[in-house]
Amino acid sequence: MTIDHDMDTIRRQNSMATSRVNDPHFARALAAFTLSFRDIQSTTQNKRPNALSLSALANALSALRVHFHRDPPRPLWDRLADFTAAWPGLPPRSPSPIPVRVSAQVFEAFCQDMERPLAEYRATGVLANVWVVAGLGRDERRNAQVLAWFLDNHGNHGQDSLVLRTLLESLEGRLPAGFPRSSHFQRGYKTYVESCPDGDMTNRVDIEITSDDAFVFLELKIGAPERAGQLDRYYQLAKRRANGQAVGVLYITPGGKRREPVRSEERAHIVEISWADVAKALRRSATVLLVDHPVRHYLNQFATHINAL
């Protein structure tokens, strides 16, 4: 099979071989190959060729190949032109899609059969979302109030620090070395909404979480733009507040990115996350609660709400 393939290659390049006849090295190689091939042809009329004949043919073919491989390959633009010319005539990779035929009668029967199950499912109340009904919308202050309630270990939801621990643990792989961990809040903490840590109303933090070992500022953005130097001021404020405590700023936006570049000194203390990241942490928190626990539903409903921000 290899001999036939090589012979086809030689035939396709016959014009190239003709141009090389004046090369004495090529002429000798071609003569050696021709003699070896004829020897094989005469031998195979009566019996199988011996190993010496095959070896001689292989050596002659190898010597001949060197001359055919001397020419450089065709330029890419030439081959690309051939491809674009042949492209319209290429067959499709997959057959044409089979048209879907819908029977109106079958679909009507399906809808009628689903009416009762859907009504029973709706009656369970699982489709309700108290946060949508409450009109949180894209209001940053209202959403901050609800998120702070979940994060508060003294909240009347009764889940202690479950949500804060889960949020920080879910971000573990993204938190720099100097950022507070869940272990910093094991001995309890306080949660403040719209806090002014230094008394300056221009430095109003959406959520502040403070313990003896650490404190975290949460800045929430939904539709409002990031004010110039806002996070830098929060970071500088955190540095001034720190008294051996670990400090950090969580910047929460729909896309999880800030507009201003993060300076090198801030990278250990400012972490950018998305509302979708928070939603994942809320859903993970809900999984530890009983299926019919009301707070489980509140967590999942708020996760659904903020995931769409």
Q: How many domains does the chain have?
A: 2
**Bridge pairing between strands 205-210 and 214-220:** antiparallel
Residue 230 is predicted with a pLDDT of 81
Q: Do 75 and 163 belong together in one domain? A: no
At 80-90, the pLDDT tens digits run 777 777 767 76
Q: Do 156 and 80 belong together in one domain? A: no
Q: Do 67 and 142 belong together in one domain? A: no
Angle subtended at Cα 160 by Cα 157 and Cα 161, rounded to the nearest 5 degrees = 120
Please enumerate in sequence order all residues whose Cβ is within 8 A of that of 105, keeping only pairs 6 or more positions apart, or say none. none
Please enumerate in sequence order all residues whose Cβ is within 8 A of that of 142, keeping only pairs 6 or more positions apart, or say none. 134, 135, 136
Q: Do 69 and 210 belong together in one domain? A: no
Alpha carbon separation from 231 to 73, 171, 208, 300 (Å, rounded): 58, 19, 14, 30
Q: Do 194 and 257 belong together in one domain? A: yes
Q: Do 158 and 263 belong together in one domain? A: yes
Q: Do 151 and 47 belong together in one domain? A: no
* pTM for this predicted structure: 0.65
State the pLDDT confidence band at 39, using cuts at 50, 70 and 90.
low
Residue 99 lies in a domain: no
Residue 17 is predicted with a pLDDT of 47
Residue 307 is predicted with a pLDDT of 94
Q: Do 18 and 160 belong together in one domain? A: no
- Residue 211: give the domain boundaries: 138-307
% the chain with pLDDT above 70 = 70
- Identity at 41, one-letter amino acid code: Q
* Rounded distance between C-alpha atoms, residue 74 and residue 44, angstroms: 38
Mean pLDDT of 195-218: 89
* Rounded distance between C-alpha atoms, residue 136 and residue 219, angstroms: 17
Mean pLDDT of 188-208: 88
Q: Residue 140, Cα to own-chain centre: how many angstroms?
A: 28
Of the given ranges (21-35, 145-159, 238-252), which has the lowest mean pLDDT? 21-35
Last residue of a domain, one of 88, 114, 146: 88
At 253-305, the pLDDT tens digits run 999 987 666 666 666 788 999 999 999 999 999 999 999 899 999 999 999 99
Is a pLDDT exceeding 90 seen at residue 125? no
Pick the closest to residue 152 from 143, 160, 140 (CA basis): 160
Residue 160 is predicted with a pLDDT of 97
Residue 70 lies in a domain: yes
Residue 197 is predicted with a pLDDT of 80
Residue 90 is predicted with a pLDDT of 67
Q: What is the mean pLDDT of the chain?
A: 81
Q: Do 18 and 146 belong together in one domain? A: no
Q: Do 151 and 59 belong together in one domain? A: no
Q: How many CA atoms lie within 13 A of 83 on its CB side?
A: 7
% the chain with pLDDT above 90 = 45
Residue 183 lies in a domain: yes
Q: Do 281 and 146 belong together in one domain? A: yes
Q: Do 188 and 248 belong together in one domain? A: yes
